[in-house]
Structure formats: structure tokens, C-alpha cells
Structure 1
Amino acid sequence: MPELIYQGPSGRLEGRLHPAPERGAPTAIILHPHPQFGGTMNNPIVYQLYYMFVERGFSVLRFNSRGVGRSQGYFDHGVGELADAAGSLDWLQAQNPDSRFTWIAGFSFGAWIGMQLLMRRPEVAGFMSVAPPANLHDFSFLAPCPSSGLIIHGDEDKVVPEPAVQALVDKLKTQKGITIDHQTVEGANHFFEGKLEDLDRRCSEYLDFRLANPGMR
């Protein structure tokens, strides 16, 4: 796939875009894990989520946040990375002005950034948060969570223990008007090593269900 360079809030950002074949197709943005621990847009889970949306006719963007790969800038502890995500979504939507709706998906640190972005963008129809780091970052901004979505993690995750994710899910499930689908992959660690097919199947089934029920929020 050809390299994509576009202007972000503090310099150029490197990404990969798969444009949808049909005008007015939905859009999706995929967010990578922590930059200081090797997270890039080429992470296997990011790559898998990217093509899951591609296969369903979305225009999809994955990108390297500031300081990663050929993206300019320096790691900014989440503040700048959220700005990069918001700018990237603006760029994607400008390329697809007739898009019907948008999804956000992120893995680990990217799930934290994605759910913050979700709070700022009422046009987002749904989200996927893979192994959200509920023990490492503050998720109290989800008050209330504006959209239904999937939270999925492994029961052998040592980076983000299961009780931390469960506490986040329990909090979100008390909110009216949205539905949180919470799934646990048995035997999966934080990186879903040996469990990527199971992760892909579950995410794909959830997305297919949501696409078949467009009125769900």
C-alpha cells in the first residue's frame, strides 16, 4: 500500500489509507498502541482491525502518531496523540465528505486515545476498544459514553488485569441509551499472542451485527 503523508496539528503524519470503492461509504480510523513501547500503525492487531473494516467497504485510515515512523514531532503523553487522532479524523472526513458515519477502533494506548476522541465527535456511530488500559490511564472522561461499542480483552492479560477492565465496563453499563458489549478471550495475553484469529472473529461478528442494526446507539 502506498505511503501517505498528510499534515497533522504539529507536523506531517505518516499513514495508510484504503479508500472505499463507493461514494458515501462509512469511514473508520484505527489507533495504535503506546509509541514508547514499540506501538506503530503496523502492529498486528491494528493491521487486523484495519482490514476488517476494509473488507466491509469502509474508507479506513491507520497512521503513526507524532514521533513514530516518519511522523514528525515527539511523544506527548497522550495530549498530542489525541490531537493527532482528531486531526487525522478531520483529514479522513475531508476526503470522504459524503460518508454516512464513522467508527473508531484502538488497541491498548490507542483504545484510550480512541475513547477520548469518541467523546469529542458526536458523529461516531461505534467503537472497538481492544485491551483498554483501564489500570494505567484515567477513563473518567466517559461521563457519559456517547456511543455503543465493544470492549474486548484477554483473561491472561498481565499488563491490564481483568478486574480493571471489568470495573470500567461496569461503570459504562450503568449509563442509559448505549450498549457496551464486553467480551473476554480465554487464554489471551495483552497482545493476543496465539489468539489473533479469535480476536478477529469476535470483532468481525460484532461489527457485522452493528451494521445490520444501524439504529443502535
Structure 2
Amino acid sequence: MSTERVTISSDCALEGMLTKQGLTCGAVICHPHPLYGGSMHNNVVEALEEGFISSGFSTLRFNFRGVGWSEGTYDEGEGEVRDVLAACTHLRGVLGQTARLVLAGYSFGAWCAARAASQVKDLEDLFLVAYPFSRYEAAPIHAFPGRLYFVGGSQDDISPLDQLMSVYEKVDGEKYLKVLPTSHFYPGVEDELRDFVRQVFGPTSSKV
């Protein structure tokens, strides 16, 4: 296994961290809102990364435009969707076009991931943590035809649990849900988040 800093080519250069182990499966992980301190060094992003790595996945986390060493400026979610697509293209370029790809995001990153998902070729899995239902519509979630994984917090006022459950109940396809006793920022429940990733994506996946 190796980890390296990479440059991702969107319509501006993006900073990323690639951990590579094998060529069969990979996960792209999207961070929370750039205007509120979100970056690829977020606790939830790193917990997701650790969960996927321990499940045998290569991973790519990256900074949206205007964050860290990434070029550009915040673009109201439009350019950020292009950033997600560029990250998926980059990881597929590393692993090969036949590799299984999972797209994951936290908060604003979950919204961007959901909006990009239908444009990612052969994407089967979309993993959403604390999707900000109070700020953005859920339509992109329902447009995705693959497997959906939801993580919510019982005390989250930005991703209210009642709204999450309403959306979850309307999903017709294969779906999985984990509710954690936490607020929107997931302090102290990183281990539980890692464990859920391992449960649904690890070698002995139990699909809870």
C-alpha cells in the first residue's frame, strides 16, 4: 500500500491524496462545505478513508477548488460537481476502467457526490453521510439507480433525521442505513462510522 499527494485535472488543478492498494476497487471521498472550513483533512472524511482502506479499497480524497492547494474559487456547487467527476476520472485512470468505484461524501460533499453520481460511468455505490437536507433538495439521490448508503445523526439539525427517514423510505432500490448518536459534525463517533464502512464493504460484508 502506498500513499501520495496527487494533482487532479478538473478545469482547475486540484490537490488530492491517493492511497493505492490493488486495482480492483476504489473510493472517491468528498469533503464538507469549503466556506465553513471543510477540507479533505476533516474527521469524517478521514474516518471514511480509513474504513475503505481497511476494506481493501484504494482511496482518493481531494480538496475542492479554492481549498488548500487546489486552484480556483468556490463555485456554488457547480464547479464542485465537475471536481467530483474529475476525481472519479483520475481514480479510474489509476485503477483501470473495470475497477469497482464507490463515490462517498459528507455534508456538502454528499450533495455534490449525489449530483455527480449519475454522470459517473458504471457507478454502482453512492455513500452519503449527513446529506444536508435542510439546505439542498433530495432529487439527486432519487435519480441514482445504484445502491445507496445513508449515515445520519440523531441530533443533526442540518441533516434532520426525520427528513433522512422520509427520503430513505422513498428509495425503491437497494439501500442501507446507519443512524449514529451525534450532531452534524460527528465528534467521537468516527470509530462507528469506520465500522459501518467495513460492515458494508469489507471482505465479510454483512450489509446491515
Matches of 2:142 and 2:150, distance apart in 1:
16
2:176 corresponds, among 178, 181, 193, to 181
User: Match for 2:154: what amino acid?
Assistant: D
- Whole-Å Cα distance in 1 between the matches of residues 82 and 71 of structure 2? 13
Q: Could you list the runs of 5+ residues in structure 1 that have no partner in the other structure?
A: none
Contact 2:28 2:88 in 1 (8 A): yes
Contact 1:33-1:39 at 8 Å conserved across structures: yes
Q: Which amino acid aligns with 1:150?
A: Y
Q: Does the Cα contact within 8 Å between 1:31 and 1:105 map onto a contact in 2? A: yes
Q: Distance in 2 between matches of 1:180 and 1:77?
A: 29
Identity fraction in percent:
27
Q: How does 1:1-217 map to 2 (within 5 A)?
A: 1-9=3-11, 11-20=12-21, 22=22, 24-172=23-171, 175=172, 178-185=173-180, 187-208=181-202
Gap change, CA 1:204 and 1:73, over 3 Å in 2: same
TM-score, length-normalised on structure 1?
0.87
Amino acid at match of 2:177: H
User: Relative contact order, CA 8 A, sep 6+: which one is greater?
Assistant: 2
Q: Which moved more, 1:117-126 or 1:149-158?
A: 117-126
Q: 1:179 to 1:6 in 2, by over 3 A?
A: closer
SS at match of 1:45: helix
Q: 1:134 to 1:209 in 2, by over 3 A?
A: farther
Call closer, same or farther: CA 1:132–1:57 in 2, change over 3 Å: same
| Contact 2:81–2:115 (Cα < 8 Å) also in 1 | yes
**CA positional deviation for 1:40:** 0.2
Instruction: Determine the C-alpha separation between the residues in 2 that align with 1:75 and 1:153.
Output: 26
Equivalent-residue separation in structure 2 for 1:188 and 1:142 (angstroms):
23
Per-residue CA deviation, residues 192-211 of structure 1 (Å, 9 max, x unaligned), is 11222222222221223785
Q: CA deviation at 1:168?
A: 1.6
How many residues end up aligned between the 2 structures? 205
